[in-house]
Amino acid sequence: MSTTIPPARPAAPPRRTALPRRVTPARWFSDLGWRHLVGVLAVVYAGFPLVYVVSASLADAGTLTGSNELFASVSGANYVALGDTKFWTWMGNTLVVAVATGVGTVLMGAAAAYAFSRFRFSGRRVGLTALLVIQMFPQMLAFVAIFLLCISLGNVVPVLGLDSKLSLICVYLGGALGVNTFLMYGFFNTVPREIDEAAKIDGASHAQIYWTIVLRLTAPILAVVGLLSFIATFGEFIIARVLLQSEENWTIAVGLYGWVSSLQEANWGLFTAGAVLSALPVLALFLFLQKYIVGGLTAGSVKG
């Protein structure tokens, strides 16, 4: 052993001293430079469609051809023109549906996670396993059955039928428990039970513990679930497309698809302006809460 170490020693010092003395360009490139090169390329790749869409939305031509020269003309004509369309109605619909779904998902998911995490009852294990199994069947795969169900519900209670935002929200809420309970369940388990028990000894009811203690302590995960649900609902297309039939009730995804699929060339200006406006709320939320979302993504899936 001791005989093998000495030969290594003389070799090490020169290398260590060489680094701070002079950084050759080649050395810099193999250490950091290539990273900058990759970074710039990646930013261009990730960003050019976004730069393009902003430029196209500001072009006054409003057509696909007229949008190819980046920032050749800057005008708000496309944004103004949105006022003559149903865009803002769609935006309103989308926000209503997405916010309602987000809030409902958080409330129902958190309540269920609380029950699974804090109470011991018969059927608890079965329930958790069932949720895991149900998770595997994405709701949207059953869109035909959802469509048929809404027809028959609509014959009885019209607001739960086709072409109703409430009905769409209900469908989305149906998927809430399966997807999010596990994420929350894991997080709820990390809140020490001792806190609940202390409160219980002080005379708090289970409802008080839930609303005033557990929900406060789990606020980060509630925010994440609410946001992910909001973002997912915002961009959901297939169920919204199948259920919502009149233009007044469309969501943005359905409406913008309509513009692009019919007469892409002519509607391009409108579409890009609408795209910029509808991407903004999601983008802002995402960047603002990036840290939480990323944490939630990895935490939920790795533990789930």
Partner 1 sequence: MSLPATRGSGRTGWSPGFLVKLALIALVDALGVYAVLAAWSAESWGLLAAMVALLLVANWAYFSKRALPLKYILPGLAFLLVYQVYVVAYTGYVAFTNYGDGHNSTKEQAIEALLVQNERRVENSPSSPLTVVAQGDTLGFAIVSPEGVVEAGTADEPLAVVDGATVEADRVTALPGYEVLEYAAVLERQQEVTDLRVAVSEDPNDGSIRTQDARTGYVFTSTLTYDAASDTMTDTTTGATYTPNDDGQFEAADGSTLPVGWRVLVGLDNFVTAFGDDRYAGPFGKILLWTFAFAVISVASTFLLGLFLAIAFNDARLRGRRIYRTLVILPYAIPGFLAALLWSGLLNRSYGFVNQVLFGGAEIPWLTDPLLAKLAVLGVNLWLGFPYMFLICTGALQSLPGDVLEAAKIDGAGRWRTWRSITLPLLLVATAPLLISSFAFNFNNFTLIYMLTGGGPRFDDASVPLGHTDILISMVYSVSGLDGTAAKDYGLASALSIVIFLVVATISAVAFRRTRSLEEIA
Q: Which of residues 36-55 bind partner 1 (CB under 8 A)?
A: 36, 38-39, 42-43, 45-47, 49-50, 52-53
For the bound state, the minimum distance from the C-beta of residue 17 to partner 1, rounded and expressed in Å, comes to 19
Question: Could you say which of 18, 27, 31, 88 contacts partner 1 (CB under 8 A)?
Answer: 31
For the bound state, the minimum distance from the C-beta of residue 152 to partner 1, rounded and expressed in Å, comes to 7
Task: Please say which residue, 64 or 223, places its beta carbon nearer to partner 1.
Answer: 64
For tokens 């359905």, what's the residue? 254
Look up residue 111 and give its two tokens.
Answer: 């309540």
Q: How many CB atoms lie within 10 A of CB 271?
A: 24
Rounded to whole angstroms, how far apart are CA atoms 133 and 61? 52
- The answer to whether 204 touches 133, Cβ cutoff 8 Å, is no
Question: Could you say which of 59, 61, 67, 97 contacts partner 1 (CB under 8 A)?
Answer: 67
Considering the rule CB under 8 A, would residue 65 count as an interface residue with partner 1? Answer: yes
Residues in the chain: 304
Nearest to 255 by CA among 273, 276, 237, 268: 237
Rounded to whole angstroms, how far apart are CA atoms 206 and 19? 64
Task: Please say which residue, 153 or 217, places its beta carbon nearer to partner 1.
Answer: 153
- The answer to whether 106 touches 179, Cβ cutoff 8 Å, is no
Restricting to residues 177-216, which ones interact with partner 1 according to CB under 8 A? 177-178, 181, 197, 200-201, 203, 205-208, 210
Restricting to residues 149-178, which ones interact with partner 1 according to CB under 8 A? 149, 152-153, 155-157, 170-171, 173-178
Restricting to residues 251-290, which ones interact with partner 1 according to CB under 8 A? 253, 256-257, 260-261, 264-265, 268, 271-272, 275, 278-279, 282-283, 286-287, 290
- The answer to whether 174 touches 168, Cβ cutoff 8 Å, is no
Restricting to residues 85-124, which ones interact with partner 1 according to CB under 8 A? 107-109, 111-112, 114-116, 119, 121, 124
Rounded to whole angstroms, how far apart are CA atoms 232 and 37? 34
* Cα of 143 vs its chain's centroid, Å: 21
For the bound state, the minimum distance from the C-beta of residue 5 to partner 1, rounded and expressed in Å, comes to 12
